[in-house]
Structure 1
Amino acid sequence: MNFNIRGAVLHNISGMAEQELEGMIVDSIKQGDEKLLPGLGVLFEVIWNNSNEPDRNQMIDTLHHKITTGPKPDPFGP
């Protein structure tokens, strides 16, 4: 059975106000639950697809800097 995660996420958030959307993002990150990552990925895809080249470059720079200089989590830990 195929499940369209993108469609489901976009359907579930389509009626949210900006404040609700922000709360959902913040709560998802705070919870740190692996099962929420696909939804956050869909949101990042929307941001990426609607960003211009300088904004995309800034996102890549930020990600690269934080990933290469930040603490390395244990992939087998909690």
Structure 2
Amino acid sequence: MDLNLRKAIMSNVSGNSANDLEATIVDAIQSGEEKMLPGLGVLFELYWQQADEAEKTEVLDSLEQAVNKQ
């Protein structure tokens, strides 16, 4: 079976508003379900691909701080 997970996730979120995307992200985090992680990864990948270097640096700094607080 050939399942293109990225394509399926993109199909599910295509046309979503910022509020819809936020609800998806919050739900995925609050549910704590492992099956939600690929969707978050695809959303992060989309962000990363369009982010400029300053935005990437800001995200990396925030992630560094977050993972070091754990």
Q: Same fold (TM over 0.5)?
A: yes
Which is higher, the Rg of structure 1 or of structure 2?
Answer: 1
Aligned runs of 1:60-71 on 2, under 5 Å? 60-68=60-68, 70-71=69-70
Equivalent residues, number = 70
Length-normalised TM-score, structure 1:
0.83
Aligned equivalents of 2:17 and 2:64: distance in 1?
A: 31
- After TM superposition, the structure 1 stretch with the greater mean CA deviation from structure 2, 36-45 or 18-27, is 18-27
In the other structure, the counterpart of 1:12 is: 12
Q: Percent identity?
A: 41
Q: CA deviation at 1:22?
A: 1.1
**Structure 1 stretches lacking a partner, 5+ long:** 72-78
In the other structure, the counterpart of 2:55 is: 55
Length-normalised TM-score, structure 2:
0.91
Aligned equivalents of 1:65 and 1:19: distance in 2?
A: 26
Aligned equivalents of 2:10 and 2:56: distance in 1?
A: 21
In the other structure, the counterpart of 1:36 is: 36
